A and B are shown apart, each in its own frame.
Chain A
Amino acid sequence: MTRMHRRPAMRARTGGHIDRDTTLTFRFDGRELTGHPGDTLASALLAHGVRIVGRSFKYHRPRGIYTAGPEEPNALAGIGTGARRTPNTKMTAAELYQGMVAESQNRWPSLRFDALAVNSALARFLPAGFYYKTFMWPASFWEKVYEPAIRRAAGLGRAATEPDPDHYEAAHAHCDVLVVGAGAAGLAAARAAGESGARVILAEQDFLLGGGLLADPVHEGWRREMTAALEALGNVVRMPRTTVFGYYEQNMLGAIERVADHLPEPPPHTARQRYWTIRAREVVLATGADERLIAFPGNDRPGVMLAGAARAYANRFGVLAGRRAVLFTNNDAAYATVEALAAAGADRVTVVDTRPLGPAAAAARTRGVEVLPGHEVVGAHGGRGLYSVEARARGGDGGFQIDADLLCVSGGYNPAIHLASQSRTPLAWDSGIAAFVPGTAAGQRSAGAARGRFGIAAAARDGMEAGGAAAAAAGFARRPAFELPAGGADPDLTVAPFWEVTARGKSFVDLQHDVTTADIRLAHREGYEHIEHAKRYTTHGMATDQGKTGGLVGAAVLAEARGLPVEAVGMPTFRPYVTPITWGAVAGHHIRREFAPIRRTQLHDWHVRRGAEFLEAGLWLRPAFYPRPGEAPWDAILREGAAVRRSVGICDVSTLGKIDLQGADAAFFLDRLYMNTFSTLAVGRARYGLMLREDGMVFDDGTTTRLADDHFFITTTTANAGRVMEHMEFHAQTVWPELDVQFTSVTDQWAAMSVAGPNARRTLAKVVAGLDLDNAAFPFMGVADATLAGCPVRVFRISFSGELAFEVATPAGYAAIVWEAILEAGREFAIEPYGVEALGLLRIEKGHVAGAELNGQTTAADVGLERMAKKKGDFVGKALAGRPGLTDPARPRLVGVRAVAPDQQIRPGAHLLEAGSDRSLGWLASVTKSVEPGGWIGLALLSGGAARHGQRLQASFPLHGESVEVEICSPHFVDPENARVRA
């Protein structure tokens, strides 16, 4: 910033919103250049006379800067280096900063020479729909030949490959009035609403407030006064660098605030971008208008630019986009560009006006400007920079050349209706401006150029009224008005529609996707007549600029082909995002380990210290197993399982869902919810319960304890805890609202640990106080309160493993104390902590069903639990469980499976077949290596069920090319008489 630099050739000495006292250096394609604060990358490049800034998407044609804003189709750059590199950034909206490193895109190896420009010569073989048609056959070529070739040739920029070092965040805002866009209309709307007392947010995508005012020196005083007035209003939040990209239901709008994109890197603790959701009572869309192009051969040459953009570069940035300019227009407003270029030092401007001589043309002539009324441009020449424009009398033959390095084009202005369209506000055709304009909708109005009120004074007046009306609708009385801009009469903005010059050559309607008028006509010829079909066939308007400059032109070409007026053809529906946004901003805080909140039990730190391998169960992290140094996973799992079978183990089961249920009707409610009966359960006893869905399938299972007549403690599976709670809420609130029941989740209140194995009682008896654990005093399915290591505990004599077992629950803050005390007590029995894998092993050996069997497609009878169903009384699922399809005796039933060769692995999901048959008789749901009986075993659902015990079948797993011989057996591999759990 300290070095002296010569003034770039195309930079005016004065004028504009740039700080010439400060020089910024930056690199573009390796070349060091300079600019000033207030520049965009595009304006700084133009100041240095840079013409080509990219190659086009399909034909790799050289392209220059086309606009001065986010509607830009051509000038895309990768900005930043390494992990901070952002592709597809619009140079026309990228705020210049010291040290910026930018690279052009879509060219190989360089901008000036591009090997793939041969596509342009092959253009007649690359029509619209080319990819669909050509690469259909043979299918086997797709992956190896077509796709790699297309990927090399196609696509816009490339993404960074390293993780983004910056952070992004979400934020939520609320306001009475949201004003989108801070041009003349938006400034006036925000001030009018703000002075009424409403809470106002003014969002502007640019880094300066002013919109079109920034290119209009006449009204600069008013702009400054307005921005100062807004700054003084405490109830108006101004949000520059904020793009509102989407309009959602009930006036929620999405916006991206580029907090630090204009800095080399974000300041400490600051997000790079913020993803805002803004909920507004009233919305004023002051989004301005986009100038539209005219389709003519060569309308994409570097040096062709929209007229308003050339004016903005001259007036806002003090940059002359060309010295010998041609203006091609069908409207008077574009004549302002003539003045701007002249003031910035252009040698000459020639106007090609499609209309007969009118007042603006006549006035220009009196100032010495050459005007060609009734003419049109039929060609632009200069692949690496425009040198000549070919014009002719409209519809005439031949043509003549005009020496030019800048061709400014104006086909009129389209109100920027993207957000209004997203909100499904009705659009109407305004023939005066030949464009669609939005109507109003509940809680929303458009103002200024966004609804066709062009010109600074008209837009400001419209904005003031809209802002006042929005505030009034939000309940804030209107206040006296402020001064509207004075001086400078608004030009006449009516246009004679003019879409296309018919002449030989490529006339583009979508510069970013290289869609020509010929492509649109081809779509029509091939039957893609509807605008939505033509859009998809040609990809017109589907690029990152959403067809802002050429969308309506393409629609007009289609309309002409169909013989319809353009308003009858219409525009395709606009969808978010109005401009592209960064994925990082969408994800915000929720990336990597914060992708979703991780639930931890109170014993998590202990599991970590013990070296547990974790697995995700819903949002929980649970220990899978605790490997010893060098120990293989299955060795650890079998060791843990064996400890339970032979002595004692302890498992953290805190993640099980727990629900406290109270109320006079609590027992009755449980009878309705569960297939079995709970009203007969004695206080201090637990019972296994099976819950069906209303469609008759098994939903969930667990044990429920009666703590008092009107008080139950329910457990659910870990996976279904939330769903069971909601199921209960649905029935209590909407089906049986007359019941007196209160229930709440106590999952996090209670930690729970299962102490299982033949030495479980001996272990616990050492540390449990206030409870006799003897079998007679505390039998199977008993429940009682006690203390353990001074902590209150509730002990449940329940078992999932088939061994003598107790579940000890304690208020979660005591979990570590209780756990450590049990471990200490069990030391003499070599107690082992066991994880979810051993838990699964033990329950499979015992034949207990779990999620793999209760998969939403199985009935109680399928899993052998049909006898639990109560005979009398209603319960959820009772009626439909009786459907013929669900009671069909041929349905697959639960069986046990063991590999005939015990070491041969079987897999869940394998189909069970008779040898030599390919008809599936059922499938393996769960498998494990076992402690008892040893070797690979599993639980399966098999047609024929128990009748097949003793049969040998094939467990076929075609994905692995496996077929394993298995023997069908009882699912109860361990202690089928249930003697151990009752010991």
Chain B
Amino acid sequence: MHLITCPWCGPRDEAEFAYRGDATVARPAADAGIDAFYDYVYTRANPRGWHTEWWHHAAGCHQFVKVVRHTLTHAIAATGKPTDTLPVPAE
């Protein structure tokens, strides 16, 4: 079970969070067209390694937390608020 540091609540057990997918994609502008929205909704890199993800602190402060997590080792390098830009380790 991960221990995820919510930027608001501090370290909390994974059981309090809901995984909410890739945080590297941004919603396109309204007039960006179907292809841009298609990529936003469906196209994912699925990396083996560091990945920036959304974890919703559903059983806590209800905030979406950005988490840089290693998909192989499950190590967590950084967490932050939606507006934060988090450094992603090289390897």
B-binding residues in A (CB < 8 A): 248-252, 277, 279, 424, 442, 694-695, 725-726, 729-730, 733-735, 737, 873-874, 878-880, 882-883
**A249-B1, A880-B38 known; A730 and B30 CB under 8 Å?**
no
B82 A737 Cβ-Cβ under 8 A: yes
Interface residues of B in 1-55 (CB under 8 A from A): 1-3, 13-14, 18, 20, 23, 27-28, 30, 32-34, 36-38, 40-42, 54
| CB-CB nearest in chain B for A251 | B3
Distance of A279 Cα from B13 Cα, bound (Å): 9
Q: Which chain A residue lies CB-closest to B63?
A: A733
Known: A737-B83, A880-B41. A726 touches B1 (CB 8 A): no
Taking the closest CB of chain A, its distance from the CB of B86, in whole angstroms, is: 14
7 inter-chain pairs at a CB distance below 8 angstroms, sorted by A residue, are A694-B40, A730-B54, A730-B56, A733-B82, A734-B64, A737-B82, A880-B38
- Say yes or no: is B78 at the interface (Cβ < 8 Å to chain A): no
Query: Which residues of B have CB within 8 Å of A879?
Result: 28, 30, 32-34, 36-37
Q: Is there a chain A Cβ closer than 8 Å to B85's Cβ?
A: no
Whole-angstrom distance between the alpha carbons of A251 and B62 in the complex? 25
Q: Please judge, given known A-B contacts A733-B64, A880-B34, whether A252 and B3 are in contact too, CB under 8 Å.
A: yes
C-alpha spacing A726/B57, complex, angstroms: 10
| Bound Cα distance from A874 to B14, whole angstroms | 35
Residue B58, interface by CB 8 Å: yes
B79 CB to nearest A CB, Å:
12
Interface size class of B (residues with CB under 8 A): 20 to 34
| Contact, CB under 8 Å: B2 / A726 | no
B30 — nearest CB in chain A belongs to which residue? A874
Chain B interfacial positions (CB closer than 8 Å to A): 1-3, 13-14, 18, 20, 23, 27-28, 30, 32-34, 36-38, 40-42, 54, 56, 58, 62-64, 73-76, 82-83
Asked if residues A883 and B64 are in contact (CB atoms below 8 Å), the reply is no
Q: Is the CB of A250 within 8 A of B62?
A: no
Distance of A755 Cα from B23 Cα, bound (Å) = 45
A730, B32: Cβ atoms closer than 8 Å: no
Closest to A726 in B: B56
> Do residues A252 and B1 form an inter-chain contact, with CB atoms below 8 A?
yes
With A and B bound together, what is the CA distance between A904 and B3 in angstroms?
57
A856 to chain B, nearest CB (A): 14
Q: Which of these, A442, A729, A735, contacts B56 with CB under 8 Å?
A: A729
**Docked complex Cα distance between A694 and B38 (Å):** 9
Q: A694-B37, A729-B64 are in contact. Are A734 and B54 (CB under 8 A)?
A: yes
Known contacts A726-B56, A729-B62: does B34 contact A882 (CB below 8 Å)?
yes
**When the two chains form their complex, are residues A730 and B1 in contact, meaning their CB atoms are under 8 A apart?**
no
Least Cβ distance of B27 to chain A in Å? 5
The chain B residue with its CB closest to the CB of A874 is B30
Which of chain B's residues have a CB closer than 8 A to the CB of A737? 82-83
Closest 4 CB pairs of A and B: A874-B30, A250-B3, A879-B37, A734-B82
- Chain A-chain B contacts (Cβ-Cβ < 8 Å), number: 66
| B37:A880 contact, CB within 8 angstroms | yes
Contact A883 B18 (CB under 8 A): no
Given contacts A250-B3, A279-B3, A279-B13, contact A726 B58 (CB under 8 A): yes
Taking a contact as CB atoms closer than 8 A, the residue among A277, A729, A873, A882 that contacts B1 in the complex is: A277
Are B2's CB and A249's CB within 8 A? yes
A279 cross-chain contacts in B, Cβ below 8 A:
3, 13
CB neighbours (8 Å) of A695 from chain B are 41-42
Instruction: Give 13 A-B pairs besides A879-B33, A879-B37, A880-B38 with Cβ atoms closer than 8 angstroms.
Output: A249-B3, A250-B1, A277-B1, A279-B13, A442-B75, A695-B42, A726-B56, A726-B58, A733-B82, A737-B83, A874-B30, A879-B28, A883-B38
Chain B minimum-CB-distance residue to A883: B34
B6 to chain A, nearest CB (A): 13
How far does the alpha carbon of A442 sit from the alpha carbon of B3 in the complex, in Å?
14
Q: Which residues of A contact B64 (CB under 8 A)?
A: 729-730, 733-734
Chain B proximity of A624: nearest CB distance (Å): 29
- Residue picked from A249, A252, A442, most chain B C-beta under 10 Å: A249
B58 CB contacts on chain A under 8 angstroms: 726
- CB-nearest residue of chain A to B4: A250
Q: Within the complex, which residue of B30, B41, B76, B83 is in contact with A878, where a contact is CB–CB below 8 Å?
A: B30
Q: Chain B residues near A248 (CB, 8 Å)?
A: 1
Q: Measured between alpha carbons, how far is A251 from B42 in the docked complex, in Å?
A: 34
In chain B, what residue has the closest Cβ to A725?
B62
Within the complex, what minimum Cβ distance (angstroms) separates A969 from chain B? 35
| Residues of chain A within 8 A of B75, CB atoms compared | 442
Q: Could you tell me the distance in whole angstroms from the C-beta of A956 to the nearest C-beta in chain B?
A: 34
Residues of B within 8 A of A725 (CB): 62
Q: A248-B1, A249-B2, A250-B3 are in contact. Are A726 and B18 (CB under 8 A)?
A: yes
CB distance from A668 to the nearest CB of B (A): 13
Residues of B within 8 A of A734 (CB): 23, 54, 64, 82
B37 contacts which chain A residues (CB < 8 A)?
694, 879-880
Residues of B near A882 (CB, < 8 A) are 34
Minimum CB distance partner of A735 in chain B: B27
Chain B residue numbers with a CB within 8 Å of A874 are: 30
Residue of B1, B13, B54 with highest tally of chain A CB at under 10 A? B1
> Are A250 and B34 in contact, CB atoms less than 8 angstroms apart?
no
Cβ contact within 8 Å between B27 and A730: no
Which residues of chain A have C-beta atoms less than 8 A from B73's C-beta?
A: 424
A277 to B64, CA, bound (A): 25
- Cα-based distance from A12 to B72 in the complex (angstroms): 54
Q: Which of A277, A424, A733 has the most chain B CB atoms inside 10 A of its CB? A: A733
**B33: min CB distance to chain A, Å:** 7
What separation, in Å, do the CA atoms of A883 and B38 have in the docked complex?
9
Nearest residue, chain B, Cβ from A731: B27
User: Is A249's CB under 8 angstroms from B33's CB?
Assistant: no
Q: A424 — which chain B residues lie within 8 A by C-beta?
A: 73
How far is B42's CA from A252's CA once the two chains are assembled, in angstroms? 34
Chain B residues whose C-beta falls within 8 Å of the C-beta of A694 in the assembled complex: 27, 37, 40-41
Q: In the bound complex, what is the Cα–Cα distance between A725 and B59 (angstroms)? A: 13
